[in-house]
Chains A and B, each alone.
Chain A
């Protein structure tokens, strides 16, 4: 489990995240939502070990601030929003970089063995020899997903709790690719991994998240299941616009419909 207690982050003397409590459990997707500038990405960067913070973060019971980069890398993988490359790597070479830090317990030869199944998982069989820079945005994001899966997938299958951090993983993708990426994240969680995802699309969030953390002005505004959190009142207040929340009766799944003032 990942537990954050009373986490605050300041950048350049300015407090971006204040007193956030958070937890992500193996087997679940924890979604962080909130308007632009609410501190979501800053909070995730603190969880990733990129930024200093006050408060306490533990990963599987171990204190994050005492971990070396290589130790953190064995416990969680981070998928950035988009990755640009300046050198002509092939897809296979990129995916193999998931193992570059030497995943603890990795067997020799895994960098030969693992890329192919990881690419199959993101539906990119036959892409291994292609150049990354020549792929579409959706394909590039799936290659990066295959890379982070290389980092944490096998230990999860062995029953070890590992985590996947997704920072707006689908923001620039079409609807089909949004579903592909989120289904893979969902699959990872069903097999026992934990997922922490920053999402902008509230409907995707309602569909996939087991638990939602709503951030507003650096603080936690609400937390709970989609049914608990997604209400007209809260969402309108946090996002400062007119929204209607309905419920799909068959699945008891909330959905959010923006309202125009035009």
Chain B
């Protein structure tokens, strides 16, 4: 009798696990934590200089290694002031872009929504370029009042305005039309880029050089000071996103149904839009336009662990961070001693991937 009930319970457990990908998802999240740690350590030890990261870390933690001659002041400078801020910045931005992509896709109920693709990044860029070019003239009061916060704040406002506008245009009675979303995104991006173009036209030579490099996307300018100004924004936005996960899951069934399930849909939408605009704005402010992270990372993860946002969001943060570190490693080393803008690396890898998604889904995606 006892045997029978145990067998029965095991049978029920087996059925209960079917179609439930949460165990696999948790495993993937753990593996991604390990992967990201390895990526961070590799980035710390690799680069144009052969500075010994192990020596430096040992130095921080326990004092200098006995008889360690290699650990020079130069090594310390490279590791602490160049590589480390760059890695932290890469982790923050990779996580922020990937999670923003996943949240936008949940919000628009569409796997093709991406901050870069639908003009949010372009809006952020416009805000940032305005501060860079006009910061010492027309917008001088703003920059003096806000200091280093002016740039991320302007990028945030640009991104927020674009997202709100896009949502208004593309959503009718709770239904988001994909065709309208993509087309409106293209139009808004074009408009933002045109306005950015006017600003660039007004820029002087020094600003111009900064802008060009910045527009292509780069982690090269990462400093502790920049981390201090945008880091908290990104961390806050990322910390808020997991609270949206259940609501975004319900939203997959449609806005009305999400409401019937007890989700406060309006609040969810506005939190998501503000969160994404903050994360993308802050990222764009320091690193320029780094595209395709937000679309590639969540898509790969959905194939692996399914679309449950409770796991998709943290997993996206981890994979986004790791992939951006990898892309940065490629950007730093492929044309060494020069450096490729990281936005070029992500676009070269991401654009074909995007086409592949379209080809795979042809006939399924309802434009």
Contact = CB atoms under 8 A, between A and B. Distances in A.
Q: Tell me, yes or no, whether A binds B.
A: yes
A8 B92 CA distance: 52
A70 interface: yes
B306 A89 contact: yes
Contacts of A180: none
Interface residues of A, number: 40
A50 B109 CA distance: 20
Interface in B179-195: none
B127 to A, nearest CB: 30
Contact of A69 (B12, B16, B259): B259
What's the dominant secondary structure at chain B's contact region? loop
Interface string A190-218: 00000000000000000000000000000
A101 B260 CA distance: 9
B205 interface: no
Contacts of A92: 18-20
Interface string A100-125: 11100000000011011000000001
B19 A49 contact: no
A80 B254 contact: yes
B16 A86 contact: no
A93 B309 CA distance: 11
Given A86-B109, A89-B252, A102 B306 contact: no
Interface stretch (A24-32, A71-79, A169-177, A230-238): A71-79
Contact of A88 (B20, B260, B265, B307): B307
A68 B260 CA distance: 11
A213 B253 CA distance: 29
Contact of A90 (B12, B302, B306): B306
Nearest to B12: A116
Interface residues of B, number: 29
B308 A101 contact: no
B249 A68 contact: no
B263 A87 contact: no
A168 to B, nearest CB: 14
Contacts of A128: 15, 18-20
A85 interface: yes
Contacts of B263: 69, 100-101
B261 A100 contact: yes
A181 B144 CA distance: 66
11 contacts: A50-B256, A68-B264, A70-B264, A78-B257, A80-B254, A90-B21, A93-B306, A100-B249, A102-B262, A116-B12, A116-B15
Interface of B: 12, 15-16, 18-21, 109-111, 246, 249-250, 252-254, 256-257, 259-265, 302, 306-308
